[in-house]
Structure 1
Amino acid sequence: MKGRFTWVIVSLFVFITCGCVSNRPMGHIPQRAFANPLPIAFLHTNDTHGHAWPHKDRDGIVRGGFAAQNQVIDAVWREVDTAGGVTFVLSGGDINTGVPESDLLDSEPDIMAMNQIGYDAMVLGNHEFDKGLEKIRKQQVWARFPFLSANVLTKDGNYLTRPYVIIDRGVKVGILGLTTGDLKVLVSPEYTKDLIVEDPITAAKKHIPQMKAEGAQVIVALTHIGLIDNKANSLLDKFTDDRKLAESVPELQVIIGGHTDVLLEKGLRVGTTLIAQAGAHGNHVGRVDILFDTNSGRIVNSAASVLPVLPEKGEDRKLARLMDEYKERGSVTLEEIVATAANKLDGDRKNVRNGETNLGDLLTDALRETTGTDIAIYNGGGIRDSIEAGKIKVRDVYQVLPFSNTVVTATISGKQLKEALESGLANRHLTGSFLQVSGISYEAVGDRVTDLQVGGKPVVPSRKYSVATNNFILAGGDHFDVLTRLSDKKDTAVPVERLFIEYLKAKKAVDPKVEKRIRLSAEKHLSGGNGRAAGNS
């Protein structure tokens, strides 16, 4: 009782001090007769990754931001309310990690904005675990909506969060949360070692009967398991995605997803199940409309669409002011200039996960030179952005390296090094495992490494070499089981981004080129299918 009372007081304090009052009463039920069939709208976002503010998209158009998102959601809510229907607002997870102003504040700006907008639930994505369970608990105190996951449990068998929620707005709608089954591959093992991650399909089959028994009339799966495109269907042998979930659990009428950043403009229908996903970064709000026959208890129609979030079309002024206040808190530190770059430092997702880039070379050089090791390796999935030519600011480094992974050193044999490089090649289309390297050169034929050299000399399988990397892959992340067996492990406790900032400050100016440390056989190299957004991702 004491814990519950404390939670209420803290939540009330947050509510009052931030002035976050939704334009739409939470749990609102229209004060008149419902239409029949009943219009139900599900508005959803996913993979916003700290994009709480407007930002210029790759097409040059300014998109997103919660203040503009609020206006889009408010317009739909009023439309549906006028038609005698009800609206739900959902997040497909991964609100964390991507924008420094949000990252430095543990995504507090994002959650406070979601409170004001009136989100009803959020599924746990893999990036909710980037800084451990304490951050999740802190965010749960801030949030006025439940975090959900029906397949992530603590080692004693208790659910880490609520598995589902049933919301009664004249019709009882059950929201079932499902987190990616490869959570332990994507998150630092130190944060998931005490967790049990069940298969999403198994979890869905277990909980849906319970939800029906509790009166759920409509059941929606709110997932962070991804949607794998047809070109990469072989991945389905290893992973459950929304398509496979729909095929295996046809009782699900709607799946609202995330994880793979797919923009499904009209949704995807698998059997009788409608799958929706709204891209990423809050550039769009997804919309799923269903008509529910209250007499028969059946969905008689469903459709999906996406709505662009364009600040030029209008923003909620109160929410915009709140977001500006948060942004100012981190701006002084983030605007510091640390060096200049003569050319673009390439951290583009497709490039850094499938081949050598100049940013990969520069980062691994920084690790090797600063620690004094023979070699350095770094998973491409841990490099999250490029840095344009010109002044390099602290914020740029945080956007490239948002995970706060630490610098670690160890001893590796020549045989283990070859195994690690081949593991990175073999799994690069499943995760961000492709290794950027320093002090190393090799040729790859398919997933096999040949002509492997360290320091310009052929590698001796039995010889020991010192290596620097990050704590994520040293602990086995991105399928690097071989790295868990290294000897002489030492965690410096220095965040990789801090080491890189100091390295750049010392250099003052950088002009890295791709040095052809890695030579990929053109005829056998698979060109970076992006069917799955994963890795230290």
Structure 2
Amino acid sequence: MNIQCTWTSIRCLRLGILLLFVLGLFGCAALSESEQVSKNEQRDETISLKILHLNDIHASIGDFAYIATYIETERKKNDYFLHLNAGDLFSGDPVVDLQQGTPIIELLNKLELNAVTMGNHDFDYGQEHTAAAKDLSNFPWLSANTIVVDKTTPIQQPKPYVIFELEELTVGVLGLTQSPPSTAPASIEGLEFLDLKETIEKYSFLRDEVDVFIGLTHVGIQADRMIAKQYNLFDVIIGGHSHTVIENPETINHTAIAQAGANGLYIGDITIDIDRKSRKIVNIDGRLQSVEELQERDEEIQAMVEQYIDEMATTLQKVIGNTKTGLTRVGRNERDVPLGNFWTDAMRHMTGSDIALTNNGGIRNSIEPGEITSGDIYTVEPFQNDSVEFKMTGQAIKNVIEFSFKRGNQIDLQTSGLHYTIFTNDKGQYVDSLLEVDGKAIDLDETYHVITNSYLASGGDGYHFEGEVILPAAGNLANALIIYAEQIMKEKGSIDYEDEGRILIRRAE
């Protein structure tokens, strides 16, 4: 009897434990459902704003069909959505550049771009073409620090900012442009570019008028960081100009900074969560979407791109000038040559630098006497190189010249603004050099503005340009050659060059 009672007690104990376990499961399930309700309520209490952004496209339209599909897909998925661009739509692809930007504007209209900030290369085609591009656009061009001071200029005063009313949400976007922009001086005549700090302070009142405040800038990553550090103003800075690849937004002083590289290789993807009641931002997430990884494309956009490319077969035959002398590269390893002189003069014309240097390896062909076409320019400079301007000491410049000759015991750099003589021993090896600017020996302690191509600036062929980068993207080289050719034709009627003694090789005494 006692034994039965004992077993019965054990069975009762087991049943009790089982019952408690089952109740515990139900309790956990109920708690889980409660947590889920809480999460749903939390989601109801926030508004999510999706922003897709690009910058420094530089006329690269080849992958626009893939970009279009990604943008449209995200637009349909999100109730609150903006598509923004941080400038430099132009300069980089002859398909676009030789039509003064029309193809990319038409494509961005199809992609329903909401706003773009004016970049320095958006002035490259000249004022009439910049104005025409703005007129063709279905989206606003922004630049709060660009002021039209000459009312006769074709460029109309750009909007400083735009406020988007997105149902429950207001989003302010302030545009800022490099000051002054790196482009041909003639392209910005009659325009004044205000100091960034002065402009930001002028429009700081917008902070209190919107739920989300975005700086859409084309000033470079270092300036963006300075703005974030000194002003607790913007929620997000979407930047351009420095071609910086920022995988995830970096945060400085509660400001998220984003940039999506260049040339349409990435799409920036940002999500901003805003508390519905307080209108305060509770979270910002961001990433870059590699365009190369995208699989789906918009066939209508693809057909447009292919049509533009087909049209260029004829457009590349456009005559931009003529030459009686021809522009040869022959002899470039021993001295300055006509094409090298024209080329580097065009680079200096672009920025007004003291000195221009370009490497012989980048000069891929000669131009024969007769008509010069756009296709000729893109044949002699097929790389679509940009250019970079440095502030360098005379000694640093001399070091570059020394390195250039020692690479192969021959001339490797064509030049404008600088005349240099290489002194060699009886074996043809470098001994010393004499550098002159404006007929005077270069001051080794003085600083000069030197423009070169982006290949050399980034260390190509082992070069090292020691100095301060003052213009990281000073202008597309092919475009600079075309603009300068047109300038010479207006002034002289023919593009004629000789070897001028800019570069000499002498035996050391």
TM range (shorter): 0.5 to 0.7
Answering whether residue 274 of structure 2 is matched by residue 292 of structure 1, we say yes
CA contact (8 A) 2:334 2:504 kept: no
Out of 431, 435, 444, the residue aligned to residue 452 of structure 1 is 435
Q: Which ranges of structure 2 fall in alignment gaps of 5 or more residues? A: 1-42, 319-328, 346-352, 368-374, 401-412, 423-431, 442-450, 452-469, 472-482
Residues 364-410 of structure 1: CA deviation (Å, up to 9, x unaligned): 245699xxxxxxx9965999x9567999965344656899xxxxxxx
TM-score norm. by structure 1 comes to: 0.58
Out of 314, 318, 323, the residue aligned to residue 296 of structure 2 is 314
CA 1:35–1:74 in 2, change beyond 3 Å: closer, same or farther? farther
| Partner of residue 167, structure 1 | 164
CA 1:187–1:299 in 2, change beyond 3 Å: closer, same or farther? same
| Partner of residue 119, structure 2 | 125
Answering whether residue 227 of structure 2 is matched by residue 192 of structure 1, we say no
| Partner of residue 520, structure 1 | none
Displacement after TM superposition at 1:176 (Å): 0.4
CA contact (8 A) 1:67 1:320 kept: yes
| Partner of residue 36, structure 1 | 45
Cα distance in 2, alignment partners of residues 138 and 398 from structure 1: 27
| Partner of residue 531, structure 1 | none
CA 1:78–1:425 in 2, change beyond 3 Å: closer, same or farther? farther
Alignment of 1:402-441 (within 5 A): 422=394, 436-437=415-416, 440-441=419-420
Out of 256, 274, 278, the residue aligned to residue 256 of structure 2 is 274
CA contact (8 A) 2:270 2:284 kept: yes
Displacement after TM superposition at 1:140 (Å): 1.3
Cα distance in 2, alignment partners of residues 145 and 359 from structure 1: 50
Cα distance in 1, alignment partners of residues 335 and 202 from structure 2: 46
Alignment of 1:250-265 (within 5 A): 250-265=232-247
Answering whether residue 309 of structure 2 is matched by residue 327 of structure 1, we say yes
CA 1:263–1:367 in 2, change beyond 3 Å: closer, same or farther? closer
| Partner of residue 71, structure 1 | 69
Cα distance in 2, alignment partners of residues 390 and 312 from structure 1: 40
CA contact (8 A) 2:340 2:414 kept: no
Out of 18, 31, 54, the residue aligned to residue 45 of structure 1 is 54
Cα distance in 1, alignment partners of residues 90 and 49 from structure 2: 29
Cα distance in 2, alignment partners of residues 165 and 357 from structure 1: 54
Alignment of 1:6-405 (within 5 A): 35-53=44-62, 65-79=63-77, 81=78, 85-155=79-149, 160-170=157-167, 171-183=169-181, 186-209=182-205, 211-212=206-207, 215-228=209-222, 241-310=223-292, 313-334=295-316, 363-366=339-342, 380=356, 386=362, 394-397=377-380
Cα distance in 2, alignment partners of residues 423 and 126 from structure 1: 31
Cα distance in 1, alignment partners of residues 335 and 296 from structure 2: 38
Secondary structure in structure 1 of the residue aligned to 2:281: strand
CA contact (8 A) 2:98 2:315 kept: no
Secondary structure in structure 2 of the residue aligned to 1:304: strand
CA 1:334–1:134 in 2, change beyond 3 Å: closer, same or farther? closer
Cα distance in 2, alignment partners of residues 164 and 382 from structure 1: 40
CA 1:35–1:396 in 2, change beyond 3 Å: closer, same or farther? farther
Secondary structure in structure 2 of the residue aligned to 1:49: coil
Rg bigger for which structure? 2
Displacement after TM superposition at 1:41 (Å): 1.2
CA contact (8 A) 2:69 2:296 kept: yes
Secondary structure in structure 2 of the residue aligned to 1:300: strand
CA 1:381–1:74 in 2, change beyond 3 Å: closer, same or farther? farther
Displacement after TM superposition at 1:40 (Å): 0.7
Q: Which amino acid aligns with 2:185?
A: P
Cα distance in 1, alignment partners of residues 180 and 433 from structure 2: 30
Displacement after TM superposition at 1:330 (Å): 1.4
CA 1:324–1:156 in 2, change beyond 3 Å: closer, same or farther? same
Displacement after TM superposition at 1:191 (Å): 2.5
Secondary structure in structure 2 of the residue aligned to 1:98: coil
TM-score norm. by structure 2 comes to: 0.61
Cα distance in 2, alignment partners of residues 365 and 156 from structure 1: 34
Cα distance in 1, alignment partners of residues 396 and 147 from structure 2: 29
Secondary structure in structure 2 of the residue aligned to 1:191: helix
Q: Which amino acid aligns with 2:159?
A: R
Secondary structure in structure 2 of the residue aligned to 1:324: helix
Cα distance in 2, alignment partners of residues 494 and 156 from structure 1: 24
Paired residues in the alignment total 366
Secondary structure in structure 2 of the residue aligned to 1:137: helix
Q: Which ranges of structure 1 fall in alignment gaps of 5 or more residues? A: 1-33, 54-64, 229-240, 337-344, 346-355, 370-376, 404-418, 429-433, 444-448, 462-469, 471-477, 480-490, 508-514, 518-537
Secondary structure in structure 2 of the residue aligned to 1:140: helix
Displacement after TM superposition at 1:194 (Å): 1.5
Secondary structure in structure 2 of the residue aligned to 1:330: helix
CA 1:300–1:222 in 2, change beyond 3 Å: closer, same or farther? same
CA contact (8 A) 2:217 2:239 kept: yes
CA contact (8 A) 1:255 1:273 kept: yes
CA 1:325–1:493 in 2, change beyond 3 Å: closer, same or farther? closer
Residues 413-440 of structure 1: CA deviation (Å, up to 9, x unaligned): xxxxxx99959959x9xxxxx9834982
Secondary structure in structure 2 of the residue aligned to 1:135: helix
Q: Which amino acid aligns with 2:115?
A: A
Secondary structure in structure 2 of the residue aligned to 1:313: coil
Secondary structure in structure 2 of the residue aligned to 1:102: helix
Residues 240-289 of structure 1: CA deviation (Å, up to 9, x unaligned): x1000111221211000000000100121112000000000001101111
Cα distance in 1, alignment partners of residues 292 and 244 from structure 2: 19
